[in-house]
Every structure is written in C-alpha cells, then in structure tokens.
Amino acid sequence: GFELKEALKRTLEARGVRWHDFGTAATASVDYPDYAAQVADAVAAGRADRGILVCGSGVGMAIAANKVRGIRAAPIVDVEGAVLAREHNDLNVLTLGGRRTSVADAERIVAAFLDTPFAGGRHQQRVHKIDRLARNLIDYATIKAILKQKGIRLISVSEPLEDNPIGQFMEY
C-alpha cells in the first residue's frame, strides 16, 4: 500500500488538503496496527477531522482502527461505498487496499470521502447506537487493573494437551 499512499499524498496536496503522514516510509512489511492506531487516535482525539489508511487489502487497517473508541472505519472499494459510508455512517476513517485499488479509483474514492457530508437525520440515531457499542467495551489492561485493585487473581486454564494431560495454566 506504500505506493498508493504516496500517490494519495500528492492528490491531497493538489486539493489543498492538509495532511500528516504517520508512516511508513518504505515498502518493507510493517505491523500495520501500529499505524492504524496512530491515525485512529488522532481522529478520535480531534487532532484530525478524518483519516485515510492504506494497506494491502484495507481490511486489517479497518479492523485495527475500529478498536479505537469513536472511530468508524471501513475498507471502501468504490465511490458509491464511500458516499454511502459518509452519508449513512459518518465514516471518519477510510481504508484502502493498495493491492485492490488503482490510483485513479483511489483518488475518486478519496474525493467522495472528503466531499460527502454526513446526512444526519435518521442516520444520526444509528451512529449514536454504534458509538454506544464501543462505550460498552473494556480493554484487557483495564480488566487486569480492576482485578488487581480488588485483589482478584485472573487464572486461565486451557484444555489438556496430548503431551500434557493437566493442560496449560497461566496466572496473570
């Protein structure tokens, strides 16, 4: 996705859009969740209005970005999808697949993502419901801290293995 990202930076500049590149700076394989988290955090914190993420398929970046509260990310493959995701879901992070999307198609998708307003109305209630789902999530680190504070030990036992009839035992 690096080549597509670089092409889209030029597209954003030509449109007069201010952008920040969170990386990567080369074509070497990277742990894309690290970059998705940086962009999603910037959008969720209000440091950026919207985010654009590019990886091989766009799917992994969307999954990772959606773990951040307040983010509504989706892998978009055509202009209609971008328009509907903005109008109906207030999509705030667009993910694209560098292996699946030509530069010309990506430019049209990005234009639709940036130019299409959220329709609000009946869709607003649905977006609120989506956001409430994220508020119900609690991350593992928080659970661990709560349990430790209450003096409760978390123990995990797996199914017995062929060479270990007792199973795996881990204490956290």
Main-chain phi, psi angles of 111, to 5 degrees: -60, -45
Residue 153 Cα to chain centre, angstroms:
32
128 is catalytic: no
Strands 73-75 vs 93-97: parallel, antiparallel or unpaired: parallel
Q: Which two tokens stand for residue 49?
A: 């209005």
Residue of 20, 55, 123, 128 marked active site: 55
> What is the helix (H) or strand (E) element at residue 65, kind and residue range?
helix 59-65
Q: Are 50 and 110 in contact (CB under 8 A)?
A: no
123 is catalytic: no
Q: Which two tokens stand for residue 170?
A: 């881990």
Catalytic residues: 55, 88
